[in-house]
Structures are given as structure tokens and as C-alpha cells.
Amino acid sequence: MHDVIRDMTLWIACECEAPENRFFVKTGIRSIKALDVENWKGVRMSLMYSQIKKLRGTPTCPNLQTLFLNGNRLEVISDGFFQFMRNLRVLNLSSNQYLYELPQGISELVSLECLDLRWTCIIELPIQLNKLSKLKYLDLMRTYRLIKIPRELICKFSKLQIFKIFSDSICRTDINSLIEELKCLQHLNVLWIEIRTDFALESLLSCHHLRGCTEGLCLGGWTGTKVLSVLFLENMERLENLEITECGSIEEMVTRNIEKELRERRMIQTSSLSPTNSNTITPRFHALSKISIFNCPKLRNLTWLIFAPNLTQLKVGLCLRMEEIISEVSEVANVVGISNPSPFAKLEWLHLQILFDLKSIYWDTLPFPCLTDIIVLNCPELKKLPLNCDSAKGNQISIVGSEDWWKEVQWKDEVTRSTFLPSFKLPSRGKELDWKDEANLNAFNILF
């Protein structure tokens, strides 16, 4: 929003309304006056990005409906802070990375409908949350220190419509019990969840309601699985965001039923009939738009992505044996009946990082009608990009990487080189490093 328009909007909302209906917006300030909580007035308040560390006192805010406290440095919220905010409907505490616990007094927010705890360090959810019977939205994305969700808490939110939780610590929570509780929520229509075992995945997929409302899925920390069949994605018709992270045993991702294939091979060996393609089924993952593959050290390629035609963002990092993103697919195409596959037709953003063995993104040049950003960091063997002078079709593509890598890039011809020479940019340190938590970011910084 243009600064002038924003200022005018705030002036109308904060000054022209009656006192009981006013907005109170003080973002990005460091003045102690903003913390004069006894004088907080208005219906909607925003104190985002204001370096606030402690919230004490007991403000009387009977009309307050929205409170944005995200992006601060909150460490403590006193138990009585929410006592007189009984009409509060939206509370945003996200991106407070020093906030380790919620006050018990949060149970006073009996009208609360939206609670955003993304990117906080909450260790456990207090059982007092079970009094928030009107809650419709609960966001626990990237709560990496979360180790406890009390049993039979989530199922108390009978009106919950949106629930999100991607957390590396979820393995300490009984994910199977959590899924059983989610099955009780009749109004749930958007689910983002992290799955760490085959059994939990089967439990999720066995429920038509949960399977149908899952928009984000993270497969994290799987062990003992060398070959992962992604055919289950076909049954998740609304799945847009997929993350596969820290799966140290996975070597291959395939689009076939492995057990069925073994049975068919045995039948073929005992039959005089040759197999045909008439009964082959071509999988399609139409909803998938964002995919992130992180820290899968044995995974060698992602050829299955040719079946995700609407992919807009692809991020691959710390896969030390990854040799190709999509390998030459002639054999795959023959098996599933695809001729002349053209992947990445809708790709907008490609991020490749710490892939020491990566040599190829795709075996031929491709049209990229939507591509705007390519980021290549610590991929020393990647000498060729699947680009020619017609790839961008007028789009302005930004290519981010190191100077040493850029000097080694081998172009299809001089025209292609001249076309993309103005596209190169050096990385802004830390800007693109949004993988996982602070520990992993520090590891990346060491490699730079």
C-alpha cells in the first residue's frame, strides 16, 4: 500500500471514528508510551514490530476485538493481562521468538476466534485453552519447541475451521491421538499437518474428511523407508503445499504401487502375454503448487514432479546426493503413457541450495513462461541451466548465485548467454534463508 494512502486510512480509522470504535495503530515504534496499557482504547489495536518485551498490567478493553502483537520480542505476558478483553476475537502473537509460554489467563478470552502462534517458542499449550469454545482458527506453524499438546484439547474446539501445525518437535506429541481428535471436528475445512510415521499417514488418509481438507502436508523424520511411493497424493485433491524434510533413508520417490508392481512382474514372468499400456494409469497431482524438499541426504532425483503440472514454487536444499531434479524421462513416459512431457510450465520460483552433487535441473531446455526467480547457492557441479533465448518469453528472470558459480555456467549459445547476462544478482545475506530453524540457518551461514 502506498504510504500516503496508508496514512490517510489510518487517520480516518484512528481519528475520525467515535472513541469506542477507533483503531489504535502504533507499529514499528520503540516508545514506552505504547505500553501504557491502562489507557488502551478502541476496537482494533496493532503494536506489531515494536520491540515489546513484556506485557504487564490489566488493561480494561471491553470493546477490543482485534489485537496484533506479532513481530515483537515478547518474553512475558502476565496472567491478568487478558482479564478484561472478553470481546477479543483475534489475537496474533506470531514471530515472537522469545515467547516460551502462554499465560493461564488466556482462558479469559472466551470470545476468541483466531489465535496465531506461528514462529513462537511455545513449549506446550496450556490446558486452559479448552475454555476457548468459539475458536475457529489455530495456527501453530513453525513452533519448533512445541513438545506437548494436552490430550483432548484440540477436540474441545468444536467450531474449529482452520488448524495448522508444522513442527519439528511434533514427534514428541502423540500424533496418532491428535489425528483422532481432528476426526471429531465436523467444521474443519483447512488442515496443515506434519506426519512422521507410516501409521499416522494411513490414519490420516483413512478419514475422507481429513484427507479432503488437507492443504498442507509435511512428511518429516521418516526412517527405514528407502522407496517412497507418492501415489497417495492423488487422493488428496486439495493438497497445495508439500514438504519432505529430514528423511535420511529415502533414496527414491516413485509414482507407482510397489507391492502391486512386484505382483505384476511375477505374473508377467509366468505369462506368454506381453504387457500393454492400455491399463496404465497416469497419476496427476493437479493441486500441488509449492514443494519443499529439505535434508534428504540419499535422495537422488525428483523425476516424479513431471506429474505436478501446476507447480509454482520448488525449493530443494541440503540433499547431498541429489544429482538431477528431473532425470531423462523417456522410460517414465513410456510406462505411464506421457509423451513429450513439459514440466515447470507454471513455475515461478526455483530455489536450489547446498546440493553438492547436482548436475542437472532438466535434461533439455524448457519454456518458463511464468518464471521470475532462480536461486542457486552451493551447487558447484550445476554448470548448465535448462534455458535458451526463448525460455523466458519476455519475463524478467532474476538469477541469484555466487560470482564463482556464475562464471562457470555453460550456455546453450552466445545468444542465450547475452539474454540472461543482465539477470544475475548476488545473494542478499540471510534474505533467502527461510529454511527451518535458527540452528540450520547457522549451518548454512558456515557454508557461505
For 428, counting Cβ atoms within 10 Å of its Cβ (0-12 exposed, 13-18 middle, 19+ buried), the class is exposed
The per-residue pLDDT for range 84-140, each reduced to its tens digit, is 999 999 999 999 999 999 999 999 999 999 999 999 999 999 999 999 999 999 999
Assign 199 to helix, strand or coil: helix
Strand 241-245 with 290-294, pairing = parallel
Mean pLDDT of 210-239: 91
- Are 217 and 243 within 8 A, CB to CB? yes
More confident residue, 41 or 316: 316
**HSE-CB of 179 using CA atoms within 13 angstroms:** 24
Most confident of 15-19, 20-24, 38-42, 291-295: 291-295
CA distance 311 to 306: 9
Q: Is residue 10 part of a domain?
A: no
- Listed range (157-161, 182-186, 202-206, 336-340) with the worst mean pLDDT: 336-340
Q: Is residue 448 part of a domain?
A: yes
Cβ neighbours of 13 (radius 10 Å) = 17
Q: Which residues contact 319 (CB under 8 A, 6 or more apart)?
A: 293, 294, 295, 296, 297, 299, 354, 355
Mean pLDDT of 313-339: 77
Q: Is the pLDDT of residue 333 over 60?
A: no
CA-based angle 358:361:363, to the nearest 5? 115
Name the phi and psi angles at 234, rounded to 5.
-60, -30
Q: Is the pLDDT of residue 447 over 50?
A: no
pLDDT value for 410: 95
Residue 218 to residues 146, 168, 270: CA-CA distances in angstroms? Answer: 16, 10, 41
Assign 418 to helix, strand or coil: helix
Q: Is residue 406 part of a domain?
A: yes
CA dihedral 220, 224, 230, 236 (to 10 degrees): -50
Helix and strand totals (H; E) in the chain: 9, 20
User: Grid coordinates standing for 397?
Assistant: 528472470
Q: Which residues contact 124 (CB under 8 A, 6 or more apart)?
A: 101, 146, 147, 148, 149, 150
Q: Is residue 186 part of a domain?
A: no
The per-residue pLDDT for range 251-284, each reduced to its tens digit, is 999 987 654 544 444 444 444 443 444 344 566 8
How many domains are there within the chain? 1
For 309, counting Cβ atoms within 10 Å of its Cβ (0-12 exposed, 13-18 middle, 19+ buried), the class is middle
pLDDT value for 221: 86
- Are 351 and 403 within 8 A, CB to CB? no
CA distance 248 to 252: 11
The per-residue pLDDT for range 351-390, each reduced to its tens digit, is 999 999 999 999 999 999 999 999 999 999 999 999 998 8
The per-residue pLDDT for range 153-184, each reduced to its tens digit, is 999 999 999 999 987 665 556 788 999 999 99
pLDDT value for 16: 67
Q: Is residue 247 part of a domain?
A: yes
Query: Residue 397 — very low, low, confident or very high, per pLDDT cuts 50/70/90?
Result: very high
Q: Is residue 385 part of a domain?
A: yes
Query: Residue 4 — very low, low, confident or very high, per pLDDT cuts 50/70/90?
Result: confident
Q: Which residue has cell 505369462?
A: 271
- Are 111 and 134 within 8 A, CB to CB? yes
For 183, counting Cβ atoms within 10 Å of its Cβ (0-12 exposed, 13-18 middle, 19+ buried), the class is middle
Q: Is residue 423 part of a domain?
A: yes
Query: Residue 8 — very low, low, confident or very high, per pLDDT cuts 50/70/90?
Result: confident
pLDDT value for 35: 62
pLDDT value for 396: 86
Q: Is residue 335 part of a domain?
A: yes
User: Grid coordinates standing for 229?
Assistant: 511411493
Q: Which residues pair with 291 in a beta bridge?
A: 242, 314
Its domain, for residue 372, covers 221-259+283-448
CA distance 141 to 194: 10
More confident residue, 24 or 402: 402
